[in-house]
């Protein structure tokens, strides 16, 4: 399969929290965590569970930047 998205983050599923319609999926990507909100149906179809190796694809129109001063 080919895809145009260039921001690919290979990682491991750490946690899947399923609600009635949505699922929160937490991935370990290197030293960082990435959290995605997807449909519960998608999580079920993909068989997402802790330990599964996946790749997060990021396609965004906006990127926000935070500086240390904003945390003070």
Per residue of the chain (72 residues), give pLDDT as tens: 788 878 899 999 999 999 999 999 999 999 999 999 999 999 999 999 999 999 999 887 787 888 887 666
Structure confidence at residue 72 (pLDDT): 60
Q: Tell me the domains of the chain and their CATH numbers.
A: 7-71 (2.40.50.100)
Structure confidence at residue 69 (pLDDT): 75
Structure confidence at residue 1 (pLDDT): 79
CA–CA dist 30, 27 (Å, integer): 9
The tally of CA atoms less than 13 A away on the side-chain side of residue 42 is: 9
Structure confidence at residue 71 (pLDDT): 66
Two tokens, residue 37:
């909100």
Q: Which residues 6+ apart lie within 8 Å of 45 measured at CB?
A: none
Host H or E run for residue 40: helix 40-46
């Amino acid at each position: 399969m080919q895809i145009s998205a260039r921001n690919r983050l290979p990682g491991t599923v750490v946690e899947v929290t399923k609600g009635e319609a949505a699922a929160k999926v937490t991935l370990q990507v290197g030293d960082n965590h990435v959290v995605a909100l997807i449909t519960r149906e998608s999580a079920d179809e993909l068989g997402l569970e802790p330990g599964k190796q996946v790749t997060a694809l990021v396609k965004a129109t906006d990127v926000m930047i935070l500086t240390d001063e904003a945390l003070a």
